[in-house]
Amino acid sequence: MRVEVSDVRFGYGASGPEVLHGVSLTGESGTFCGVIGPNGSGKSTLLRVIGGVARPWSGCVLLGGRDISLMSPRQAAQLVAAVGTAEAVIFPFTVEETVLMGRSPHLRFFASETALDAAKAHEAMKRTGVAHLAGRRITALSSGERQRVLIARALAQEPKVLLLDEPTAHLDVNFQVEIMELVSALAHESGITTIAVLHDLNLAGRYCDQITMLSSGQVAAQGVPREVLTEEHLLDVYGVRAIVGRRPELDRPAVFVISGSPRHGHGGHTGLDGHCEGGEFNGVDDIGRDGDAG
Amino acid sequence: MPRSRALKTRVAFLVIAVLVVVGWAVSAGTAGIHTGLALRIIISRIPLLGRTLPLGLGSIDPDMLESAEIIVLEVRLPRIVLGLLVGAGLAATGASFQGLFRNPLADPYIIGASSGAALGASIGILSAGRAGLAALSTPSSYIPIFAFIGAVITVVFVYALSTVDGHMPTDTFLLAGVVVGSFVWAMVSFLMVTAGEDLPKVVMWLMGSLSAKSWAHVRITAPYVLAGVVALTALGRNFNLAACGEESARYMGLDVERFKKVVIALGSLITAAAVSSSGLIGFVGLVVPHVARMLIGPDHRSLIPVSALGGAVFMVTADTLARVIIPPREVPVGVITAMAGAPFFFYLLRLRKKG
């Protein structure tokens, strides 16, 4: 399902400061879109607006041409599922119970799940590789397992659009790669339009079809990873000096941050630049392979 | 969600426990009425069943039978039924609030219903004393109404105070409940200072007791508790969503703000109805849901009714102990629930730490 965000302005509360100053983005059906930007640039807020949880002051979010602000929470949840980072798991539901909750938007208010719902939940658990954990308490899982359970719950919703807020946060590199491979497969194979806020620029560059870079609530750059992840943009938006190389086998950018502030070590003095000739930075590429192997 | 056989066994066990406790409670006490007689008296009053079964009550001395009937039917039974209702209502509300607020320390009193009821009851007792109303009617008939109104007004005030732009952040709501609660408690204390000879009545009310309760109290409490617990149980699946966090629940299609309103309204009415007829009885609404969760897990569709059953058993047990521990005097039941509840809660915490 095509997601169109057009000129969204939003701030928290009626009188709070504006957080998003006219953001637009389009996520084509079955693509994996990344949203990146420094802390406080409005990434998570944008995700909440797309999910219909936060209502924009002006502008609109269209899902398959329908305005999400006109849908009830239940109608919206039949189209959009989300995996957030915000909320801690407090109650010791089992994995199966947790994933079954994803069926809620398809159930009547007082109804219980049927065998068909259970089958769909199991399908989702298999897809994310947590079927063997069905009877375990979610409070007893590792962060990587828990993340896959929450993605399974989102899949049980049978969404057309999947929103992910930093799906790889707090995960070790092997789980990061695992989650990213899973998510990009979901987008490309199941046709779910996936929009993810990502912290890790290299993961974004490696897996996303399209990236939106936010800066102070505005779109600083938008397009395919190669166009967005440039040394210039990173300096402008993040204020860091970086070397952007290219993963030769994929034609994907790889980012290597050199220093936190442009005042330190100006171009040509770091001694690292030498490796960068021809736009390829082998050191980064090696890091990337390590990740894949794990 | 699949309801397992283990769950059914546990629910059946609890239902039997309720019956056993009621059987014990009708016969315990100084009057020397044994369980068999008490049960036969109760059965004789059930339409159809009472006529058809050979109960053999005719062979008992009529005077003795009459006094036994009065003790069982007019003194003990209303008290037991009220205990079942109050225990069930408080425990079900506690389980609901803990799920809704995602806070294991939440209990039915956290949102100000208890302080409001206390203020209402104090005003009722004192104004009755001043106006000489106590002589005209039994105090028990109007104090519940004062307490009920006090509780509802306080919760509405807390709700209004913490709602901004149609949103009610849970943390703000809980804080507002605590702040308004302490203010209202201060007013209660002030009233107590000025109470004079009515002070013991206020203090007794605050301690919480099921003693000297009539069917009138049951009639005030029953509709709210029964309807409320059924409604909360019916909402069980939505509690599970809310327990995952507000934003997650919203993404799974729950209208969170509306759900909060409905649950707070239901929980407050149940609490107000329970508190107004029996005073402040603590720990039932806090401890019982935790025990229930350990027995059957966090699925609110079974957690809420199981908490209600457990609360009913706990309450009647505690109240019967309160009657028989130091006869002929009675200990306020709130003292028993706290004395039994607090150490048990501590034991549960230790257990969980080790596990």
Average pLDDT, stretch B272-290?
Answer: 90
- Check CB contact of B247 with chain A, cutoff 8 Å: yes
- Looking at residue A102, its amino acid is G
Q: What is the pLDDT of residues B60-78, one digit of tens each?
A: 777 888 888 888 888 889 9
Examine the domain organization and report whether A241 and A221 are in the same domain: no
Give the span between the Cα atoms of A93 and B98, in whole angstroms: 15
B251 and A101 within 8 Å at the Cβ level: the answer is no
A26, A34, A20: which is closest to A199 by C-alpha? A34
CB distance A224 to A211 below 8 Å? yes
Give the span between the Cα atoms of A167 and A179, in whole angstroms: 7
Helix (H, G, I), strand (E, B) or coil at A275: helix
Give pTM, 2 decimals: 0.86
Give the span between the Cα atoms of A120 and A102, in whole angstroms: 10
B252 and A107 within 8 Å at the Cβ level: the answer is no
A93 and B253 within 8 Å at the Cβ level: the answer is no
User: Domain range spanning residue B263?
Assistant: 5-354
- Number of independent structural domains in chain B: 1
Examine the domain organization and report whether A16 and A79 are in the same domain: yes
Q: Choose among A14, A86, A107: nearest Cβ to B247.
A: A86
- Residue B164, beta-bridge partner list: B167
A97 and B299 within 8 Å at the Cβ level: the answer is yes
Examine the domain organization and report whether A34 and A175 are in the same domain: yes
Q: What is the pLDDT of residue B263?
A: 94
B245 and A13 within 8 Å at the Cβ level: the answer is no
Q: Choose among A90, A104, A157: nearest Cβ to B102.
A: A90
Q: Choose among A13, A53, A157: nearest Cβ to B247.
A: A53
Average pLDDT, stretch B144-164?
Answer: 89
H helices, E strands: number in chain B? 17, 0
Surface of B (55-114) touching A: CB under 8 A: 99, 102, 104
- Check CB contact of A134 with chain B, cutoff 8 Å: no
Examine the domain organization and report whether A16 and A90 are in the same domain: yes
Give the span between the Cα atoms of B79 and B316, in whole angstroms: 9
Q: What is the pLDDT of residue A273?
A: 41
Residues near B304 by Cβ (< 8 Å), separated by ≥ 6? B92, B95, B96, B229, B232, B233, B236, B239
Q: What is the pLDDT of residue A274?
A: 39
Task: Give the strand pairing for A18-27 and A252-259.
Answer: unpaired
**For residues A60 and B55, which has the higher predicted lDDT (pLDDT)?**
A60
Tokens 């034991």 correspond to: B347
CB distance B348 to B294 below 8 Å? yes
B253 and A92 within 8 Å at the Cβ level: the answer is no
Average pLDDT, stretch B17-35?
Answer: 85
- Contact residues, chain B, for A153 at CB < 8 Å: 252
- Quickly count: other Cβ atoms within 10 Å of residue B237's Cβ: 22
Angle, alpha carbons A42-B254-A126 (nearest 5°): 85
Give the span between the Cα atoms of B19 and A194, in whole angstroms: 56
- Contact residues, chain B, for A91 at CB < 8 Å: 99, 102, 243-244, 293, 298
In this structure, what are the phi and psi dihedrals at residue A195, rounded to the nearest 5 degrees? Answer: -120, 120
- Check CB contact of A88 with chain B, cutoff 8 Å: yes
Instruction: Identify the domain boundary among A226, A251, A269.
Output: A226
Q: What is the pLDDT of residue A266?
A: 45
- Quickly count: other Cβ atoms within 10 Å of residue B212's Cβ: 12
Average pLDDT, stretch B344-352?
Answer: 77
Q: Is the model's pLDDT at B139 over the cut of 60? A: no
Angle, alpha carbons A18-A22-A26 (nearest 5°): 135
B253 and A102 within 8 Å at the Cβ level: the answer is no
Average pLDDT of chain B, as a whole number: 86
- Contact residues, chain B, for A164 at CB < 8 Å: none
Q: How many CB pairs under 8 A join A and B?
A: 87
Helix B113-131 × helix B256-278 angle, to 10°: 40
Q: Which of B252, B254, B303, B304 to mutate to test the interface with A (most CBs of A within 10 A)?
A: B252
pLDDT-flagged residues of chain A (< 50): 264-294
- Number of independent structural domains in chain A: 2
Q: How far is A50 from chain B (nearest CA, A)?
A: 11
Least-confidence region, from B138-152, B180-194, B204-218, B290-304: B138-152
CB distance B151 to B90 below 8 Å? no
B254 and A104 within 8 Å at the Cβ level: the answer is yes
A74 and B253 within 8 Å at the Cβ level: the answer is yes
Q: What is the pLDDT of residue B141?
A: 67
- Contact residues, chain A, for B301 at CB < 8 Å: 112
**B98 to chain A: closest CA residue:** A91
A73 and B164 within 8 Å at the Cβ level: the answer is no
B313, B336, B227: which is closest to B273 by C-alpha? B227
**B244 to chain A: closest CA residue:** A89
Q: What is the pLDDT of residue A280?
A: 43
Examine the domain organization and report whether A146 and A259 are in the same domain: no
Q: How far is B146 from chain A (nearest CA, A)?
A: 35
Element (H, E) at A194: strand A193-197
- Contact residues, chain B, for A48 at CB < 8 Å: 247
Q: Choose among A73, A86, A90: nearest Cβ to B254.
A: A73
Surface of A (55-84) touching B: CB under 8 A: 72-78, 80-82, 84
**For residues A112 and B234, which has the higher predicted lDDT (pLDDT)?**
B234
User: Domain range spanning residue A270?
Assistant: 230-294
Tokens 């079974």 correspond to: B302
Instruction: Identify the domain boundary among A226, A249, A282.
Output: A226
- Contact residues, chain A, for B246 at CB < 8 Å: 87
Q: What is the CATH number of the domain that holds B172?
A: 1.10.3470.10
Give the span between the Cα atoms of A127 and B45, in whole angstroms: 61
A14 and B2 within 8 Å at the Cβ level: the answer is no
CA dihedral A264, A270, A275, A280 (to 10 degrees): 10
Q: How far is A234 from chain B (nearest CA, A)?
A: 31
- Contact residues, chain A, for B2 at CB < 8 Å: 118
**B233 to chain A: closest CA residue:** A110
Residues near A57 by Cβ (< 8 Å), separated by ≥ 6? A9, A10, A11, A18
pLDDT band at B145 (very low <50, low <70, confident <90, very high): confident
B308, B276, B319: which is closest to B94 by C-alpha? B308
Q: Choose among A74, A84, A94: nearest Cβ to B248.
A: A84
Give the span between the Cα atoms of A207 and A185, in whole angstroms: 10
DSSP letter for each residue of B68-103: HHIIIIIIIHHHHHHHHHHHHHHHHHHHHHHHHTT-
Cα–Cα distances in angstroms (integers) from residue B84 to residues A86, A132, B74, B210, B229, in the given order: 40, 42, 16, 11, 12
Cα dihedral sign for B121, B127, B128, B133? negative
Instruction: Identify the domain boundary among A226, A241, A264.
Output: A226
Cα–Cα distances in angstroms (integers) from residue B219 to residues B136, B144, B210, B215, in the given order: 22, 11, 14, 6
Q: Which two tokens stand for residue A281?
A: 């930075």
- Check CB contact of A51 with chain B, cutoff 8 Å: yes
Q: Is the model's pLDDT at B343 over the cut of 90? A: no
Say how many residues make up chain A: 294
Q: What is the pLDDT of residue A10?
A: 93
Q: What is the pLDDT of residue A97?
A: 93
Q: What is the pLDDT of residue A262?
A: 55
